[in-house]
Chain A
């Protein structure tokens, strides 16, 4: 295998013999945005849950730079340089902006100096958050909350960022900013794995695209291959 995060022949499900994923392979190399697309119920979110460790696969492996991390608990994955940006509004509303960021760096809690530095770096990166420092995150606007979520995800400087439906519930103007920020993360050399329903935006940003259908790999290829087939693809999905 090569550098980055991979899902190798993973099968997974929630109840009984019901398979939501059936031998799915995905690979997210550094410096690329890898998009995973598919109609509702195709297993996109489940694939992400398996990759981040919320759900253990019944078969198959999760591999990070040649290292098998299938059995690594969720809470140890930040320490390996993997971060997760959840779907929808995920800030902790009763914690202040600063407390939210500090939580992102929770694994540094025994090293106060490094923790403070990591939090300060995020305030440097997103100066809009500085005046909101002591405000409860519940009072932030949609855009401010998204910035905070980015900050909280990046506070430990992860090499791999898993992103679940980044545009859900945001105003169109904000959506552009979110994808711009994701592009920036890619330019910083991180591996971005993006699960998205917003197909046009995702393909616009992606270097490599996977599509899933009925829990299996469907099509895959570099962005160019998908650029002209998009409309065809969407039509196909509507009929699935």
Chain B
């Protein structure tokens, strides 16, 4: 099937070509919105490694992201490291954080991992609130390597775009490698995979660490993009859930899933936000947070009726189904 195999990557390359000048040609607000989608896509690529290919639901992606955010911010504020120098450290520390999480939970099957990852977000939040190095609730300031609204927006647009391209390439490689087959086999029947000689714990751990590195990288960039960070906004359950939503909507265990899903989720969130602010049925004011209800409903609908996400519409035979 050479045609269908190359269709996806070719389309992606075409989209990339169209997106190349956006950093300077589009309105500032739109550039920032696309950047937000790219960041979400990067973290979602990270989640997809174990969650999508391997079928282990991770509700703690914000922790690895947050460790990246704080690593970069602290190195920048305290030691005046430049953005590019801090990024490897951000990714590395996110991996180091993921290591004990994986070692403790991935030997077990089933839901232990999901429950544990749900808890660690709150652990990380309270650690960041109480530790001296994170400056508690006062937060940390960063200095971006650019000044002025347009240069800053363009810089982060291109940084996130670049890393998303790399992460997409990585996801494509994983999907078509022995490592990827092993992850999908684990998802489908872990005992049978082990019986074939797949070292399931090691494979799951590797996928978790790979994902944590991507999330940490995204966090490191985000620290510089936003300029000021604090614990609750950084270690937010909202991001952890958004990432799952992105992959479910886009398509679990496919390299296209995080890209499609992130675009849809960010657009929808923005649209709902403005909609809820302007529409007043019966004179009521709808709280902006209601958009989570709509997104939650969407998650349920996809879980029930479109288990392979948007990517599954194009390639029904591939990708993984959502099974909870």
Contacts and interface: CB of A to CB of B under 8 A. Distances in A.
B11 interface: no
B180 to A, nearest CB: 9
A73 B199 CA distance: 9
The contact size tier of chain A is 20 to 34
B224 to A, nearest CB: 39
A92 B192 contact: yes
8 contacts: A54-B195, A86-B192, A103-B178, A103-B182, A103-B193, A104-B196, A106-B178, A106-B182
Interface stretch (A19-27, A29-37, A77-85, A228-236): A77-85
Contact of A76 (B189, B193, B197, B319): B197
From B184, B189, B191, B196, name the one whose CB has the most chain A CB atoms within 10 angstroms: B196
B198 A75 contact: yes
A152 interface: yes
B320 A94 contact: yes
Contacts of B181: 95, 99, 102-103, 106
Interface string A128-141: 00000010100000
B188 interface: yes
A77 B184 contact: no
A109 interface: yes
Nearest to A135: B317
A92 B197 contact: no
A107 interface: yes
B191 A86 contact: yes
Interface in B156-198: 178, 181-182, 184-185, 188-189, 191-198
Nearest to A54: B191
A77 B197 contact: yes
A95 B200 CA distance: 17
A94 B318 contact: yes
Contact of B185 (A92, A107, A109, A156): A92
Contacts of A93: 188
A52 interface: yes
A199 interface: no
Contacts of A83: 195
A74 interface: yes
A90 B192 CA distance: 7
Contacts of B317: 94, 136
Contacts of B182: 103, 106
B318 A75 contact: no
B304 interface: no
